[in-house]
Amino acid sequence: MSSCSRTRTKAPRSARIRVSSSPAKIVADLDDVLLHILSFLPIKTLIKCKRVSKRWRSLITNPNFSNRIISSKHPLPISGLYLKGTRDIEYRFVSLLNDDDEEVNEQLLALSSSPLRFIDHPSPIIVMQSTNGLLLCKCTCPPNHFNRNFYVYNPTTKQKTLLPLIIDHVVLSLAFDPSKSPHYKVFSLRKSSISSVSPVSSVSSVFYHIEVYSSNEGPWRRLVSVPSSALPQTVTDLSNTVFWNGAVHWFWFGPNSRDCLSFDIDTEEIKTLSLPFLDHHQDDEEDPPDVGTLRFIEESRGNLYFIEVNDLSSPDLSVYEMNRTGLTWFLKYHVDLEPLAAAFPEMIRTEYYTYRKIYSFSVIGFVKGETDAESSYIVLHIPNKAVKYYFISKTFKKLCSFEPSQEDGGENFYGFRRSFQFIESLANV
């Protein structure tokens, strides 16, 4: 036998099979690759990917992955609006996506009025606030409909958390900033006590304090007392609440007050934030202002915006923005309603008791552009329709139409109703 036949040829080192890695290590390496690929997908696609397998679902719903996705994509774009109907439990959904195809919008985005419900709860949901993809909600507890349960709800993942019982609260507010923490907090403005000013006087004073529930720390705990000067003697409605710039803001409106209570969640500092005083044309006695007809306050991509309409016969609509210091409002945009009314003549109506021409609309959304001011727009609710108006180009487009509901008495679905942002999010609640 020749020496050549007795010589064994070794396989190249690169071709040898390594068996040193354990099966768990191999699976972990594959998971890392998969998670890296998944991290580039939109949140809507990730939600669908959870249906691929139990393994995929486990990876996508893992808090470490979801928190990484949320923080990397923050601020998340606004996908749509929940528009409150004539009843608290009735909502219409207005999508802000895929608006280039009007036919698709007409068929898919203009939804009929319907209650929002949890899958495992018999009562409809009432939305109180929307913050960065999470909703603060309440619903009744059968059989006693006077009892209320409060929830933090993620409408994208359908997850919810029942908040601990709380009574004698004036208002609740949700704070959630996924760029800073995966945890959320709910703040409660509560009545502390009622005591007489003097033994011989029947006048009473109401005192307030703030409590907090934290998703990572648990039950309600008292934080600070609210100075008596920070709130009017009689608080009627503080349901307009906004989380902005690291603080919760409770707005109230009255004939002699245009302020809001601001509470910084990090420093626990309480201060009063004033709203811009607008020109109400009080010298024009022939055409008095419709004081407080329409007010809109919203946060979008880290900025706070305020709109107030006191004269429905005026085609001018001014948008104010608050600077990041929280001290000064300035005029940001101006909207001329005339071109919009020319395209949608149903906006023009005659006031029955003055016979003057008025514009029928309400502001239901404000969207700051992802890249520049060119893509920033306002969403208006006009009779039977929702339209978007771009500030810079001064162009507009119909988003969807609304069909009258039985609650509307067959009339046009229209009114000054609140709306809540829908933001797709994987945030855990």
Mean of the per-residue pLDDT values for the chain? 76
Could you give the CA distance from residue 154 to residue 163 in angstroms, rounded to a whole number?
Answer: 14
Q: How many CB atoms lie within 10 A of CB 198?
A: 7
CB 65 within 8 A of CB 172: no
Could you give the CA distance from residue 388 to residue 399 in angstroms, rounded to a whole number?
Answer: 7
Q: Which of 166, 57, 58, 162 shows the shortest CA–CA distance to 120?
A: 162
Q: What is the reported pTM?
A: 0.79
CATH class for the domain made up of 62-195+204-423: mainly beta
Looking at residue 264, what is its pLDDT?
Answer: 93
Q: Which residues contact 78 (CB under 8 A, 6 or more apart)?
A: 96, 300, 365, 367, 421, 422, 423
What is the DSSP annotation of 332-353?
A: EEEEE-HHHHHH-GGGEEE-TT
Looking at residue 52, what is its pLDDT?
Answer: 80
Helix (H, G, I), strand (E, B) or coil at 187: strand
The radius of gyration of the chain from alpha carbons, rounded to an integer in Å, stands at 27
Could you give the CA distance from residue 386 to residue 344 in angstroms, rounded to a whole number?
Answer: 11
Q: What 3 state SS string does 229-257 have?
A: HHCCCCCCCCCEEEEECCEEEEEEEECCE
pLDDT single digits (tens) 100-144? 444 434 433 433 445 677 766 667 888 999 999 999 998 876 655
CA angle 397, 378, 180 (to 5 degrees): 130
pLDDT single digits (tens) 382-396? 888 899 999 999 999
pLDDT single digits (tens) 9-50? 454 444 444 445 565 555 455 777 777 787 777 777 777 777
Looking at residue 83, what is its pLDDT?
Answer: 86
- Give pLDDT < 70 ranges for the chain: 1-29, 70-74, 86-89, 98-115, 119-122, 141-146, 193-206, 232-237, 253-257, 277-293, 372, 404-416
Q: Which of 239, 233, 244 shows the shortest CA–CA distance to 305?
A: 244
pLDDT single digits (tens) 211-224? 999 999 989 999 99
Looking at residue 214, what is its pLDDT?
Answer: 95
Helix (H, G, I), strand (E, B) or coil at 361: coil
Looking at residue 384, what is its pLDDT?
Answer: 84
Q: Where do the domains of the chain lie?
A: 62-195+204-423
Give the DSSP letter of residue 106. I
